[in-house]
Amino acid sequence: MGKIAYLFPGQGAQKPGMGKDFYENSPAARAVFDRASELLQLDMKSLCFEENDRLHVTEYTQAAMVTTSLAMTAELEERGLGKPDVTAGLSLGEYCALAQAGVLAVRDAISLVRKRGIYMQEAVPAGAGAMAAILALETEKVREVMDSMEDVWIANDNCPGQLVISGRTEAVAEACAALKEAGARRAMPLRVSGPFHSPLLLEAGEKLAQALAPVEVRDPVIPYVTNVTASYVYRADEVKELLRRQVSSPVYWRQSVEVMASDGVDTFVEIGPGRSLTSFVKKIVKGAQTVNVETWEDLENLKGVLS
């Protein structure tokens, strides 16, 4: 077997009930949820386990997602499965990767994403920003169409055949129409509450930098790959600036996975709700072994892969 990467999903994968079976079965996972409730003065059980409107509101979503993925990871560590060769996360998921890599304490990762969510929510008035997934159109063609457009940008390069655009609501709608006319199979609006990973979030990044200033960051124990540059990070002194930029910079996920694969990673483990990252990896690295940890039962699958 080659190297193993642990991957963590971002905003959009959240769903009611996520992590509930871990809370019920794992003392280690339960401790993460309870600690997050105490830190944030939020009922994380209600937020993550029950149907509610707040779960899809950015200022709550981010804390809920990171808490859930880190709770699952805590159980992996209890079982001696917490030491991959590299780790990475899509957008918000990068905070889980930082905790897994030993760069951030779990409490700091959870506290920071709560602030990050609030700053991002406040950056653009509700309804004024949007994002959309563009399917089955070459990247260069997307860039060509959008070059003459204002207030809309490429936000994510997820995998071959899937880009995400972000910007002002009217501009995103115009871009979607133009990209479909140019040959995109679909231009699908995303269920998000803001124009994430666009220059419209620059102010949120500056506020996050202030929140990061007193936070202790450490050199990674496990290397991680950052969204901002699609490259490995080995030193603590790079982290805060990358996180500031990450809020408004594009997410180079496809390139990040390609970097890991070129370094010998052939097994990718997605930890958290959903299977989007697994789907992306399969399109980026042909023949890669993938496994999801989303439910308690999935732990047995992981044990089989890693043993």
For residue 168, give the CATH number of its domain.
Answer: 3.30.70.250
State both tokens at 82: 């917490």
The whole-number pLDDT of residue 156 equals 97
Please tell me the total count of domains within the chain.
2
% residues pLDDT > 90 (the chain) = 89
Assess whether pLDDT exceeds 80 at residue 306: no
Same domain, 185 and 70: no
User: Active-site residue 91, yes or no?
Assistant: yes
The reply to whether 194 falls in a domain is no
Strand partners, 267: 4, 289
Of 205, 195, 203, the closest CA to residue 228 belongs to 205
Determine phi and psi for 76, rounding to 5 degrees: -60, -40
Q: Tokens 């929510």 identify what position?
A: 121
Of 255, 253, 282, 280, the closest CA to residue 266 belongs to 282
Boundaries of domain holding 76: 3-123+199-306
Could you tell me the strand order of the sheet in which 129-135 lies? 152-159, 162-168, 129-135, 186-189
Residue in 91, 193, 248, 276 annotated catalytic: 91
Same domain, 118 and 138: no
Residue in 26, 166, 197, 248 annotated catalytic: 197
Place 231 in a pLDDT band, splitting at 50, 70 and 90.
Answer: very high
Give the pTM: 0.95
The whole-number pLDDT of residue 307 equals 61
